[in-house]
A and B are shown apart, each in its own frame.
Chain A
């Protein structure tokens, strides 16, 4: 036999018992040819372009899924930042465009479209302002559109006016979707060093340097890594742990590579990148926190967690880089708090605080993700949390993001149920002391000097 029975059974076990899946096949679509003089015309153009370009995405992905026996959980679309696409049109807000994107998503059968975005890390254009002002209304009026704003980069520094404005937008969005626990904020993310080819939501977009259409793939597999480490046993030295993680992520990523190549060929577009992220789901066992606990920290968040996470993230990249033709996107370990059952348990046990989470994001992708905070958190405090996270990204030359959910009417320790892939969140306490003096100054934090590294 060309394969040993152990190899064949390993693949089958990974899928059936260890939750191996392709987390997302995301088609990037360039919308730069969709501009128009009125907002309605832009909305029509955008709708038509998305439906034409991605009409076959879902059927093709479904067929690949059946051919190789590996589930593809999400089929998604990333589009050119709408602040570029809509820049030429009149109209005071872009809500009709968001609604058109929502209709297109339903039409082609994808669960999310990302790219209702603006890049303001160095300042606002008129269109950027209109887009950002539209976000709360647009989120309330749509179900499948995702919103992201780049407010900082290592080259440009941090636009603190944008940080403060985004804190207001987060708070307004939570209010507008209050009856569902502020869930609108789950589709809104603020970035530093935003990647242009990220296939994961809520931050997916199709950058202006990208081709006309492209397929990007996000792999998954915390459950598979966890199982492999369990088998390795608690006595194995960390060197062996790293090697095992590399071996297993190589295999996971190869499955993604196969799916990406095949999808790109069948959809007649380019194959872009594989995002080497360990993306958890609320399913028991499919958790990044569980991996850290198997490596040896009693509860995720205790001392040693940051070091273990740094090692894990690096090993995942090393294993994946060899398996993929091109790597991109976020490529790190995701720790979306509500979506990872182990993280939720760690918060519940009091092991994982907001401060520790922030420290962990300095060694892994992708920031404070799906963190529920009290609904009455002042805007300046939200801005302070975002600014801290952006600073970690700016100084360390990496992508960081903040997806915060101020849950209306809830305080620290209370639980909020978002449902489905978004999971359950426990509201985390924020620091009671004010950030107002710092935030109210406005202006820009200049980009760092890069030669004096410490």
Chain B
């Protein structure tokens, strides 16, 4: 079994120091928070050099150990897709704002559907993300922050949830 890093271990370390995890080590979320609070840098085992980034999922989520989580299985039903939905009060340029952000991140719009009802619009896009810059979490965060909720709201969800809920 790998090392187990808990708050107790962090507490005895000098503040501002560095902790290098051995392969297979587990660091608890509380320990990670304690490390952050005391300015201790936690280096993952075999910390990802920028060149080997795209194989694994989010490293941005707090406390998430990318190295321990297996990558999503290869997609049997074609490439990995997400659903991008935008809802809000209609005004010019919205579609262009959304699609240019997708293009910037290297996403590929596969299908699009837009409806305007009175003053409100709903846009649904299917975006293929196999070739995006960064990972899913980064894509989601960037897309969801392009607009203020009182203007219009963008949400990004992995396609699988719709497949599970609406297809037998």
Contact = CB atoms under 8 A, between A and B. Distances in A.
Given A3-B162, A67-B136, A107-B31, A59 B61 contact: yes
Contact of B157 (A2, A62, A69, A108): A69
A251 B63 contact: no
B122 interface: yes
Interface in B115-165: 115, 122, 124, 126, 136-137, 140, 155-165
Contacts of B4: 48, 51-52, 55
A11 B156 CA distance: 12
A59 B166 contact: no
A63 B64 contact: yes
Interface stretch (B11-19, B21-29, B47-55): B21-29
Nearest to A20: B165
A258 B166 contact: no
Interface in A37-68: 48, 51-52, 55-56, 58-60, 62-63, 66-68
A58 B63 contact: yes
Contact of A107 (B6, B68, B73): B6
A10 B126 CA distance: 16
Contacts of A421: none
A266 B31 CA distance: 21
A251 B163 CA distance: 10
Classify the secondary structure of A's interface with B: helix
A60 B69 contact: yes
A268 B70 CA distance: 9
Nearest to B77: A2
Interface in A72-130: 106-109
Interface residues of A, number: 37
Given A63-B137, A107-B6, A8 B26 contact: no
A369 to B, nearest CB: 29
Interface string A5-18: 10111111000000
A255 interface: yes
B83 A8 contact: yes
22 contacts: A1-B113, A5-B113, A8-B83, A10-B166, A11-B166, A12-B85, A59-B63, A59-B65, A60-B64, A62-B63, A67-B140, A68-B161, A69-B155, A69-B156, A107-B7, A108-B29, A109-B28, A251-B165, A254-B164, A257-B164, A266-B69, A266-B70
Interface of B: 1, 4, 6-7, 26-31, 57-58, 61-65, 68-70, 73, 83, 85, 111, 113, 115, 122, 124, 126, 136-137, 140, 155-166
Interface of A: 1-3, 5, 7-12, 48, 51-52, 55-56, 58-60, 62-63, 66-70, 106-109, 251, 254-255, 257-258, 265-266, 268
Given A1-B113, A66-B140, A109-B63, 13 more contacts: A1-B124, A8-B124, A11-B162, A51-B4, A51-B6, A51-B28, A52-B1, A58-B63, A59-B29, A68-B161, A106-B30, A251-B165, A266-B69
